[in-house]
């Protein structure tokens, strides 16, 4: 007779923003699930819709609001029995509070779990923030950091331009060595300003972090990992 396992709550991943970031998040979700058999892993539903309009265009250039696509994706996940919803895209969290308003499905915010990670590392101070132009303009991380008693240090204009080039390259499937070198230089420039903790607040950048030398004094926070670990904890709680 086989061993019976208590099934997890069903996790719905609202993804496709972009596809590689969604795949990376699911890989991290598996890696951070304590399990020795298939049956001990989480039950997961993924709706990956790459046709969601550009969050950058929506925020920076008054482009199409992605909310209708997000609501459709949420409904798809709910139809499949999702009890918890997570979204492995930082910038789109500009729109998620209104999308999730009034929903009974539990939502775990990548912003909230990342700030909680900052609080575990340091009680106060300046936190480095790597994020897309749209996320920075929306202020989602800056407000969360300020509310928690921190301030944010952002890359220079030149480094921010390079950061966006890296993001677009990852979305295009390009992971050449120059990307890792470019991201490392941006982080080094923040560190030279006295920044000791940095949020890598774009899930495209998260896909590169395993290749980044993290042996220096700067602590890097990967929001995708923070969201994954929080998701595992909540999914295993029967409520």
Q: Pinpoint the alpha helices (H) of the chain.
A: 19-31, 55-60, 67-79, 96-100, 110-121, 133-138, 140-147, 157-171, 177-192, 203-206, 223-235
Catalytic status, residue 202: yes
User: What is the CB-side half-sphere exposure of residue 15 using CA atoms within 13 A?
Assistant: 21
Q: Are 133 and 160 in contact (CB under 8 A)?
A: yes
> d(Cα 221, Cα 188) in Å, to the nearest integer?
15
Which of 144, 202, 230, 235 is catalytic? The answer is: 202
> d(Cα 50, Cα 73) in Å, to the nearest integer?
11
Catalytic status, residue 80: no
Q: Are 47 and 15 in contact (CB under 8 A)?
A: yes
> d(Cα 179, Cα 202) in Å, to the nearest integer?
14
Which of 21, 89, 145, 235 is catalytic? The answer is: 89
Q: Which residue has the tokens 């300003």?
A: 193
Q: How, if at all, do strands 197-200 and 219-221 pair? A: parallel
Tell me, rounded to whole angstroms, the distance of Cα 170 from its chain centroid: 15
Catalytic residues: 89, 202
């Amino acid at each position: 007779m086989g061993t019976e396992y208590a099934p997890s709550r069903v996790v719905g991943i609202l993804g496709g923003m972009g596809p590689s970031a969604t795949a990376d998040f699911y890989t991290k979700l598996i890696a951070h699930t304590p399990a020795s058999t298939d049956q001990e892993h989480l039950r997961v539903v993924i709706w990956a819709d790459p046709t969601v309009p550009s969050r950058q265009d929506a925020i920076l250039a008054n482009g199409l609001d992605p909310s209708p696509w997000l609501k459709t994706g949420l409904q798809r996940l709910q139809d499949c029995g999702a009890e918890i919803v997570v979204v492995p895209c930082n910038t789109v969290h500009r729109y998620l509070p209104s999308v999730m308003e009034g929903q009974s499905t539990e939502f775990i915010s990548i912003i909230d779990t990342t700030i909680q990670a900052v609080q575990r590392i340091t009680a106060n101070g300046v936190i480095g923030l790597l994020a897309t132009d749209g996320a920075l303009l929306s202020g989602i991380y800056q407000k969360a950091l300020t509310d928690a008693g921190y301030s944010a240090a952002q890359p220079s204009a030149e480094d921010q331009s390079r950061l966006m080039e890296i993001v677009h390259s990852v979305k295009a499937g390009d992971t050449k060595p120059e990307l890792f070198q470019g991201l490392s230089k941006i982080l080094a420039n923040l560190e030279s300003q006295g920044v000791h903790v940095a949020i890598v607040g774009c899930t495209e950048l998260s896909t590169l972090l395993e290749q980044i030398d993290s042996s220096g004094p700067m602590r890097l926070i990967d929001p995708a990992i923070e969201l994954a670990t929080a998701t595992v904890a909540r999914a295993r709680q029967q409520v």
